[in-house]
Amino acid sequence: MAESRPRFPFPRYPTGWFQVAWSSDVEPGQAIPVEAFGQALVLFRSASGELSLLHAHCPHMGAHLGHGGEVDGETLVCPFHAWKFDTSGECVEIPYADKVPKKAKVACWTIQEKNDVILAWHDLEGRPPSWEIPTLPEFEDDEWSETWHRKWRIKTHNQEMAENMVDVAHFKYLHGTKNLPEASVVREGPVLKMETQTVMETPAGEVTGDLSATAYGFGYSINRFSGLVETLLSGAVVPVDEEYCDVRFTFLVKKFGGHSITRGVGKAFIAEIQRQLEQDTPVWENKVYIDPPLLCSGDGPVGLFRQWCKQFYPEAEYAKTYEAFYGKPLPKAQTG
Ligand code: FES
Ligand SMILES: [Fe+2]
């Protein structure tokens, strides 16, 4: 059934850092198409290793630079008439013309590469990055395994997925933890830290695990689990278009025993996280957003979380989508 109104009263594309690829998706000399923020983009790595994320459509006659475009040294060559763009998006050469028109350039995005991922900064108002994602030593540490990747496309909104973290009651009733966990949450600007303890049934009996999750806005989070083994998961969610988000999980485990034991533990960990995500998915894809929610004792700090969320929407955009959704202006007390 076609939806007659938007599902969420907030902007579709929040402010923040969002993963657009894994580092290994784009080797030197490669270009790949990227869909994110409702836009067609192209990501390429020059021969010397410099990464660039550009608007995908060539200003000449509109070819998509990520479909058939080839890297030549430090430039990306359009597949249609071979105009060459440098990593800043400037056209630097047209093989059959003496002069390059002034307007021959494509928009270039602010990106960074760390922790095995490539992140792009997005802001509806075009403001520059206002926070950083930390570099984690585990990704370079021999005591930790190689990384494993998993990706899903889910019909929901970043904020809905992020809310999962503080919604402790669903851990028991949807995911089957033995206890109803308590969560302590600390907000520091765009960062939200949550610590909790869960009791899980495993083949080795009941295991109490500590979960420490840190969200850097809606796009990127670091989740550390300890219990049987130490594991680390980066969870990244990027809005693709009006309907879908791409979810990318990057896993690594602290080595113990031999290589095959570590791999076995890694696989079991991934299977468990995958099981949980697949339980969440039908809820996310079909739920509506209730504001304010009808909370009771035992629910997690959902209100506090939603307060934190507002910073990721430029005020004017938030007011606009609120009014389109509810048919009335945003109450003054609810801004920013
Ligand atoms: S469309 Fe790109 S060079 Fe013509
Ligand atoms: Fe969940």
Our mutation pick for probing the ligand 1 site, out of 55, 67, 81, counting the most ligand atoms within 8 A of Cβ, is 81
- Predicted local confidence at residue 336, as pLDDT: 47
Residue ranges of the chain whose pLDDT lies below 50: 336
Handedness of CA 109, 113, 114, 119 (dihedral sign): positive
Q: What residue ranges define each of the domains in the chain, with the CATH number in brackets?
A: 16-122 (2.102.10.10), 137-286 (3.90.380.10)
- Predicted local confidence at residue 3, as pLDDT: 53
Residue 38 CA, ligand 2 centroid: distance in Å: 26
Give the residue, by CA position, lying nearest to ligand 1 atom 4.
Answer: 81
* Residues ≥6 apart with Cβ < 8 Å to 236: 18, 19, 117, 119, 219, 220, 221, 247, 248, 249, 250
Q: What is the CB neighbour count within 10 angstroms for residue 124?
A: 16
Query: Which ligand is closest to the CA of 280, given by its number?
Result: 2
pLDDT tens figures, 89-119: 999 999 999 999 999 999 999 999 999 999 9
pTM, two decimals, is: 0.94
The set of protein residues with a Cβ atom below 6 angstroms from ligand 1 is: 58, 60-63, 78, 80-81, 83
Structure tokens at 126: 């075009």
**Which atom of ligand 1 lies at the shortest distance from residue 65's CA?**
2
CA 265 – CA 207 distance, rounded (Å): 14
- Predicted local confidence at residue 22, as pLDDT: 98
Residue 65 CA, ligand 1 centroid: distance in Å: 9
- Predicted local confidence at residue 115, as pLDDT: 98
Q: What is the CB neighbour count within 10 angstroms for residue 209?
A: 18
Query: Which ligand is closest to the CA of 275, given by its number?
Result: 2
Give the residue, by CA position, lying nearest to ligand 1 atom 1.
Answer: 61
CA 262 – CA 148 distance, rounded (Å): 12
Give the residue, by CA position, lying nearest to ligand 1 atom 3.
Answer: 81
Are 212 and 195 in contact, with CB atoms under 8 Å apart?
yes
- Predicted local confidence at residue 34, as pLDDT: 98
**Which atom of ligand 1 lies at the shortest distance from residue 58's CA?**
2
